[in-house]
Amino acid sequence: MPASRSSSPYDYASDREWAGTRGYPLFFMYIKPRNLLRVALGLLIIVAGLAFCIWYSRNGSDPTPDSLVGLIYAVLGTVFLLLAGLLYSLHRRSRKSKKVIGGLRSALGWHMFFGLTGLALIFYHSFGNFNPRSGTYALYGLIALVISGIIGRSLDRIMPRLIAKEASKALTQEGEDRIEAISQQLQAIVEHNMQRVRGLTPSPASASPAISAAPERGGSAGRGRTLHGPWDLAYLTLEETPQELSRYEQSYRLVPDRKSPLSRPGALLPGAQEQMAALQAVEHAMRREQFYRYVIRYWRIFHILLALVTAGLVIWHLEYAASLVIPTLFH
């Protein structure tokens, strides 16, 4: 793409090559051929497993969780879930695997594939028998874990878009900090209004004759000047003291008429209320942005904690199943 087209951050070309690059929909999906293959393989395993489970439940000799078929389902499901848990974590932590762009995304895809198919296989392993408490709790844990994963994946799609929306509110069209821009505007308004108020105070030339004449009469007894009193401390001057001068001075205080538009609150600060409202809106947007970031982060932590709890429940169930199966194998 020629660089000459990029005159502004919002300048987009309309070529077909660049079509579909505008906008940020809330729901979107990109399916690549290799992802389709994974989805098809997962569906095949789930449907084939279900079909066999139904057939075996009707025609099989022993459709129970501890039968040979039930144990095959259990082993396959456990292996799949182990792969789901370990593959992605190891891939992410492994330095070597990071050397391929898109490798982690692929590992995440397999994580979801093994999680969903593993849950289905474990569900078929139960053959509708939910009497053993340990197995039922482990299954519930797995269902909750997979659901939390699906919700988390959806949040990963939705929340960043909401964050972008809120961040967009906190930035100006040029991408600068909106709070700073509003603060500068407020400062300009305040300064402008201070100048207006200052404009209402009389200039020395237009002051009352009493005030303008006072320094002449008082000599050096003007405001801010020291009194040069006579040498005789008992001498009482008849000239005005600074206190008397300030008493004569007219103070100009704006008291607008009740019907005047100036009597409305904020009338002296035109635009200030709007700026304050905009400032509050930006602050709310930033708070929401932070909340969305918290949701993404803590949902991931919740998913990991749920995985640990489920792993404990599965181990509990395996220990219970081993106490039943191992004596049968030896006798």
Partner 1 sequence: MRNPVLLHKTASQVQQELEACIGCNECLLACPALDEPLTIDVLNRETFGGPISAPVARFARSCYQCGACVPPCPVGLHRDAMMMWLKIRLYRSGEED
Give contact residues for partner 1 (rule: CB under 8 A): 1, 3, 5-6, 8-13, 17-25, 28, 30, 32, 35, 92, 98-108, 156-157, 159-161, 163-165, 167-168, 170-171, 174-177, 286, 289-290, 293-294, 296-297, 300
Count how many residues are written for the chain.
331
Specify the residue, 35 or 193, whose C-beta has the smaller distance to partner 1: 35
- Give the whole-angstrom CA distance, residue 141 versus residue 111: 17
Shortest Cβ distance from residue 184 to partner 1 (Å)? 14
Q: Of the candidates 252, 225, 255, 257, which has an alpha carbon nearest to the alpha carbon of residue 241? A: 225
Specify the residue, 23 or 209, whose C-beta has the smaller distance to partner 1: 23
Shortest Cβ distance from residue 175 to partner 1 (Å)? 3
Specify the residue, 160 or 215, whose C-beta has the smaller distance to partner 1: 160
Specify the residue, 103 or 132, whose C-beta has the smaller distance to partner 1: 103
Shortest Cβ distance from residue 172 to partner 1 (Å)? 9
Q: Of the candidates 50, 125, 114, which has an alpha carbon nearest to the alpha carbon of residue 317? A: 125
Residue in this structure with the two tokens 């395996």, named with its chain if needed: 318
- Give the whole-angstrom CA distance, residue 280 versus residue 265: 19
Question: Which positions ≥6 away from 311 have C-beta within 8 Å?
Answer: 85
Residue in this structure with the two tokens 């449907």, named with its chain if needed: 47
Specify the residue, 180 or 244, whose C-beta has the smaller distance to partner 1: 180
Shortest Cβ distance from residue 5 to partner 1 (Å)? 6
Is 278 within 8 Å of 182 (Cβ atoms)?
yes
Shortest Cβ distance from residue 112 to partner 1 (Å)? 12
